[in-house]
Structure 1
Amino acid sequence: MSKDKQFSLPGYQQYSLPKGSNSHGSIILVRATIPSSEVKPVHCGDGVEAQAVRIHLANDSLVVYNIYKPPPKRLEAGELLTQATQELVIIAGDFNAHHPTINPTTTMNYDDHHLMELLTDVPEITLINTGEPTHILGGTLDLTFISTELVPLAQWEVDDELTSDHFVTTTTLRMELLPPPPRPPPRCNTKNANWKLYQDEIQK
């Protein structure tokens, strides 16, 4: 989306990264009735485009990342995927990945090694693609990662009717099924309280 072509969709809050000389352009749309705010994305590598928006939930929040990694660029996803150790995340986009785990008929490249090592080292994040191609030529270039605790709430699918050279992928999260966060530890240790001293102090 270029700066001179404004896009708007009634009823949605728009967060956009305009198309420019060093940007292909991207957009995140959030229903206007859902509280949200833009977040500064972590660095994902030189020339890798990233957007981040925080969705404010009743008892928690979810950070949504939109990623585009051009084919010649190197992905640096360590800080990105380890976000899941600190908060709930969904990370989706065109990673131009060709790892045999995702695409059995392709040759592994640097980014594929990098992503698979991170998935091994960071159990808090999970790749939820089902193995279906996301590109009309058969590749699975578009990946979706979510916080592992969200996996039981997630459904991922490809829509083969909405397409350009990539198919649309849809991730549905049933957030109402997410257990409430654990209660914080008590600020006072009442087991070791000197209640007589406390009562005496109150009387004074």
Structure 2
Amino acid sequence: MRILNWSIDGVRAKMPSLIAVCKTEDIDVILLQETWLTSGAKFRIARYNAYTTPRIGTDKGLAALVKTSIPTARIHNLIACGNNIKTLAVRITLLNQNIDIYSNYRKINREEPGELQLAQLFAHTAVSPTIICGDFKAHHPLLSSPSARIPSGEHIAFALEEFEGVSLLNKGTLHT
């Protein structure tokens, strides 16, 4: 299974690039943060089912695209990941195995900073195979971050050490 996670900063402007990736890279699941899609906006890509959360106020919106050949359902009873952390999740079925896929976006808001709380989501991985992606605005050497450590990065590094069976899959590459 191939997954693309992209903090896209406006999906409409990058639609040609997104469609090209879908056609050339054979991606099964695409998770997008900062879509800027408003409530009721139509968002489709051929051969993919689309699930979205809208841009409301300072929330920038999320999307999950899953190939139509993969059985998928939106998860409505989401595991919270902290204040000011927006989440979209889907459950896919591959080879009779359910896999939960969480896409998260931590917005930076000086008045109400988003405090990352991953313990409950990491604990969920012991019950159900789970893939956690997103833009956490977190920096730590463990995350292949070129920036200095910050509390959210420390939180992720600590949680990775505390929860057995949770692994980091990060090539450490940045694409713009």
TM superposition score normalised by structure 1: 0.61
For each residue in 1:89-133, what CA deviation from the matched residue of structure 2 results, as whole angstroms up to 9, or x when unmatched?
11111011111323465332221121111111112111111333x
Indicate the residue corresponding to 2:51 in structure 1: 15
Q: State the alpha-carbon separation in 2 of the partners of residues 54 and 4 from structure 1.
A: 23
Classify the secondary structure of the residue corresponding to 2:152. helix
2:101 to 32, 45, 64: 64
Equivalent pair of 1:54/1:63 in contact (CA under 8 Å): yes
Aligned partner of 1:166 in structure 2 is none
State, as a whole percentage, how many aligned pairs show the same letter. 27
Equivalent residue for 1:106? 147
State how far apart, in whole Å, the 2-side matches of 1:9 and 1:131 are.
28
Query: How many residues align structurally?
Result: 135
Distance 1:75 1:3 in 2: 26
Distance 1:33 1:100, change over 3 A: closer
The root-mean-square deviation of aligned C-alpha atoms, in Å, is 1.7
Does the 8 Å contact 2:140/2:148 carry over to 1? yes
Greater relative contact order (CA < 8 Å, ≥ 6 in sequence): 2
Task: Report the counterpart of residue 131 of structure 1 in structure 2.
Answer: 172
2:125 to 84, 88, 92: 84
- Aligned amino acid, residue 66 of structure 2: V
Tell me, in whole angstroms, the C-alpha distance in 2 between the residues paired with 1:50 and 1:63.
12
| CA pair 36-73 structure 1, distance change in 2 beyond 3 A | same
Distance 1:95 1:38, change over 3 A: same
- Structure exhibiting the larger radius of gyration computed from Cα positions: 1
Q: Secondary structure at the match of 2:153?
A: helix
TM-superposed CA distance for 1:11, in Å, is: 2.4
Q: Give the TM-score of the pair, scaled to structure 2.
A: 0.70
**Closer, same or farther in 2 for the Cα pair 1:32/1:120, shift >3 Å?**
same
Letter in 1 for 2:115: R
Instruction: Kindly provide the amino acid, as one letter, of the partner of residue 44 in structure 2.
Output: S
Is the 8 Å Cα contact of residues 103 and 133 (structure 2) preserved in structure 1?
yes
Report the Cα distance in structure 1 between the residues aligned to 2:74 and 2:132, rounded to whole angstroms: 15
Q: In 1, Cα distance between the equivalents of 2:145 and 2:61?
A: 30
Letter in 2 for 1:69: R
d(CA) in 2 for partners of 1:103, 1:56? 30
Consecutive unaligned residues of structure 1, counting only runs of 5 or more, are 135-159, 164-204
Letter paired with 1:106 = S
